[in-house]
A and B are shown apart, each in its own frame.
Chain A
Amino acid sequence: MTTQSVLAAAGGVTGGEQVTFWILAPLALIGAIGMVWARNAVHSALWLVLTMLCLGVFYVLQSGPFIGMVQVIVYTGAIMMLFLFVLMLVGRDASDSLIETLRGQRIAAIVLGLGFGALLATGMWRALGQADAAGLEQANAGGNVQGIAALLFTKYVFAFEITSALLITAAVGAMVLAHVERRREDRMDQIATMRSRFRPGNYPGPKPGPGVYATSSSVATPARLPDGGLTERSVPQILPTRELSDSETALKGTEK
């Protein structure tokens, strides 16, 4: 046990603990506010990471080194990383849609939020007023990690098993909903692919490359057919056509 946690266990608040708290507590709050206010979803996630890191340090300060590190590894490291993964898949510039698809979700959110607040408040009230604190010495009697493990695998084993079953159900459900499996009849076999490729009106060869001439190397320049005509098939349809702006046509200042 480090000196810091021993001191914290004794109940006193040391100078170092106070300094750390007063530096990190505002940061944690700023992170929380920033998470709500940030326009960009990834920025929101990053503000939340800041708050979670501060909380991790707080746990360590409160002589819960194990729970502090687990906070950093599991929440900051894995869960927020999953969030980021999803946000990045959604796209960089995608902002929140303001169309509400669920009817009455605002009222539901307000009611649930108030309920959660009430739960938290009563919990805090009971913890601060009515419950008798056993003290860290008793809780950490067999070691911090061992104490947590004993509680997890005895008293709270069903709560945790049920939570994990819920999470696994959610994950499997998401997978089942998102997974599109084409039926065997719908799959194109080799013969069907061949037939559609050689059907009348379809050119079986590869598309011609774009035209590259002395006057232009743009991919938007159509290639020429043997008879001298232009072929539109060589121009990728994905490119939007646009005119060059003035700044793009201006001289770059690199000419001799």
Chain B
Amino acid sequence: MNLAYLAQDPTLQDFGKDPWWLVLIKIVFAFVFAVLATLLGVWFERRVVARMAQRPGLNQIGPFGLLQTLADGLKMAFKEDILPKAADKVVYFFAPTISVISAVTALSVVPFGPMVSIFGERTPLQVTDVSVAVLVLLACSSMGVYGIVLGGWASGSTYPLLGGLRSSAQMISYEVTMGLSIVAVFMTAGTMSTSGIVAAQGDGTRLNLFGAVDLPAPGWYAILLLPSFIIFFISTVGETNRAPFDLPEAESELVAGFMTEYSSLKFALFMLSEYVAMVTMSAVTTTLFLGGWRAPWPITLWDGANSGWWPLLWFMGKVIALVFVFIWLRGTLPRLRYDQFMRLGWKVLLPINLVWILVLAGIRTLQKEDISESYRYTIIAGAVLVVLLVTLLWPAKKQPPARTLQEKVNRRPSGSFPLPPMDLQVPPSPRTKRAVAQREPANVGAGQPGTTGAGHDEKEV
């Protein structure tokens, strides 16, 4: 039992040894997972958003409206496929395919679970793994944007072109941020293979505090590398074109952005790729930061939590939770303006990420190197001193001089709109007086003189 428990974590040596039928099963499973995730994902999104907007949401076709997406998909397939006259035919055709292929390919290096037994074969629950698996994910996500950009360009129309342009700029900006957040994971895990990163987040990680204190540390990188996790998740939202970063398809500005001219199955492919990308990105976030298929804390008290097929359940739970966050963001946040979006990426996320990586590298060097205690504490004290000095000596923002009202008035350029004098006493309007005088006789006969209309009504009742 103990031996089997130890052998749960697949290593790179466990891959590439499957018989061909097992490889086929795994690939088909990943593909079916992607398609099913889209079908259920659209349903889930519409139900959740409806609940957030106090509506019932899908409830007509199938139990809880579950079959609505299927019906929509079938309907889409039978619609007329329109090819715009100005479209570049080949590129127009290939664009949605590129999107879907890259979104689905990314799933092939995501670990769904530990070593399991399928028809007597012991195999990791993952299509494949390579020593640079996380880079494969990044490559897939960067290729997927080609679909959007080319779709926008090939449509031969203005709004799609604008959507494609936005998408390319957005993707270049947010991929930098995304790559930098993954660097922190690489530095901590010491590997780029997805199964290795999941293994590195296992229990029993000991945090060696300056060689003196030995603490049991939380395994999940979401806790250890919190800034990286937050930045990574924000940039995945940007990378998947989801609200509030759905500028390439902003319906209030660009009709439907890059997919304005698409119809029928090609549109369905774009839809598919968007949802597959959302699920893939959730799976990647789970793998890199949330411990992958490993059970969260209270479940780990049970010994068998991380063996057999159970981890598939924990993995799906985490993925669904992250997809819910995606939908939650969409239901809550308004779309950013384009310049705000770019400023967030380049001026906020990127510098924070760089500083955080620098700090992390410093911490890791201090932990690893064989340097004397006094030297180590000198370095730490120096770093703290520098931070303190910078915070203290940082030049304060120059306050504009406080001006009095009269000064503000005097500073107005000549030819401005005339202002009334500052000490103007407005006399009571003669018209108000007349209105009161005219109304008064009307109340005389109805009640006591001098009472208002409201008081009169109360007395009647």
B69 within 8 A of A: no
Find the A residue at minimum CB distance from B16.
Answer: A3
List A contacts of B130 (CB < 8 A). 2, 65
Give Cα A81–Cα B149 distance, bound, in whole angstroms. 9
B164 and A2 contacting across the interface, CB-CB below 8 Å: no
B404 within 8 Å of A by Cβ? Answer: no
> Chain B interface mostly helix, strand, loop or mixed?
helix
Identify which of A3, A77, A84, A92 contacts B142 (C-beta below 8 A).
Answer: A77
Tell me whether A42 is interfacial, beta carbon within 8 Å.
Answer: yes
Q: Mark B115-147, 1 if CB is under 8 A from A, else 0.
A: 000000000000000111001101100110110
B158-186 contact mask (Cβ, 8 Å, vs A): 1 or 0: 00010011001101100100010000000
B135 near A191 (CB under 8 angstroms)? no
The verdict on A231 contacting chain B, using a C-beta distance below 8 Å, is no
Comparing A66-74, A111-119, A126-134, the segment that makes contact with chain B is A66-74
Asked whether, in the complex, the Cβ of A88 is within 8 Å of the Cβ of B132, the reply is no
A38 to B192, CA, bound (A): 38
Q: Is A76 within 8 A of B153, CB to CB?
A: no
Question: CA–CA, A170 to B179, complex, Å?
Answer: 23
> CA of A42 to CA of B146 in the docked complex: distance in angstroms?
12
Which chain A residue lies CB-closest to B412?
Answer: A191
Interface presence of A44 (CB below 8 A): no
Given A1-B131, A42-B91, A69-B136, residue A92 in contact with residue B153 (CB < 8 A): yes
Bound CA span A145–B182, Å:
15
Cα–Cα distance between A92 and B175 once the two chains are bound (Å): 26
**Helix, strand, loop or mixed for chain A's interface?**
helix
Closest residue of B by beta carbon distance from A82: B172
Cβ contact within 8 Å between B135 and A81: no
Q: Number of residues in B with C-beta < 8 Å to the partner?
A: 34
Residues from chain A with Cβ under 8 Å of B143 in the complex: 72, 76-77
Q: In the complex, which residues of chain A have a beta carbon less than 8 angstroms from the beta carbon of B165?
A: 85, 88-89
Chain B residues within an 8 Å CB radius of A195: 415
The reply to whether A191 and B142 form a contact with Cβ atoms under 8 Å apart is: no
Distance (Å) between the CB of B337 and the closest chain A CB? 20
CA distance A43 to B136 in the complex (A): 25
Q: Which of these, B135, B145, B161, contacts A88 with CB under 8 Å?
A: B161
Residues 331-371 of chain B, each 1 if its beta carbon lies under 8 Å from chain A, else 0 = 00000000000000000000000000000000000000000
Choose from B16, B136, B139, B169 the contact partner of A77 (Cβ within 8 Å): B139
Interface residue tally for chain A (C-beta within 8 Å): 33
Q: Binary interface profile of A, 114-148, with partner B (CB < 8 Å = 1, else 0)?
A: 00000000000000000000000000000011000
- By a CB distance below 8 angstroms, the chain A residues around B169 are 85
**Nearest opposing residue in chain A for B94, CB measure:** A46
Contacts of A185 in B (CB 8 A): none
B135, B146, B153: the one within 8 Å of A66 (CB)? B135
Tell me the bound Cα distance from A77 to B148 in angstroms: 13
Residue of A whose beta carbon sits closest to that of B164: A88
How many pairs of A and B residues are in contact by the CB < 8 Å rule? 92
A42-B153, A189-B413 known; A78 and B132 CB under 8 Å? no
Chain A positions within 8 Å of B172 at CB level? 78, 81-82, 85
Q: Mark B168-211, 1 if CB is under 8 A from A, else 0.
A: 11011001000100000000000010000000000000000000
Q: How far is the CB of B109 from chain A (nearest CB, A)?
A: 11
Q: Closest B-chain residue to A72, C-beta based?
A: B139
Contact A85/B168 with A72-B142, A92-B161, A191-B413 known, Cβ cut-off 8 Å = yes
Contacts of A4 on B, CB cut-off 8 Å?
16
Q: Which B residues touch A42, using CB under 8 A?
A: 88, 91, 150, 153
B15 contacts A by Cβ under 8 Å: yes
Whether A65 contacts B131 by the Cβ 8 Å rule is: yes
Residues on the B chain within 8 Å of A88, using CB: 149, 152-153, 161, 164-165, 168
Question: A2-B16, A78-B175, A85-B169 given as contacts; is B135 within 8 A of A70 (CB)?
Answer: yes
Closest CB in chain A relative to B130 CB, distance in Å: 6
A49-B130 Cα distance, complex, nearest whole Å: 23
Known: A77-B139, A85-B168. A65 touches B132 (CB 8 A): yes
A46 B139 Cβ-Cβ under 8 A: no
Q: How many whole Å from B430's CB to the nearest CB in chain A?
A: 34
Q: Which of A65, A76, A191 contacts B416 (CB 8 A)?
A: A191
Q: Does B70 contact A (CB under 8 A)?
A: no
Is the Cβ of B142 less than 8 Å from the Cβ of A1? no
30 contacts between A and B (CB under 8 A): A2-B16, A3-B16, A5-B131, A42-B91, A42-B150, A46-B150, A68-B132, A69-B132, A69-B135, A69-B138, A69-B139, A73-B135, A73-B142, A73-B179, A77-B139, A77-B142, A77-B143, A77-B145, A77-B175, A78-B175, A81-B145, A82-B168, A82-B172, A84-B153, A85-B168, A88-B153, A88-B165, A88-B168, A92-B161, A145-B131
The chain B residues found within 8 Å of chain A, CB to CB, are 12, 15-16, 88, 91, 130-132, 135-136, 138-139, 142-143, 145-146, 149-150, 152-153, 156, 161, 164-165, 168-169, 171-172, 175, 179, 192, 413, 415-416
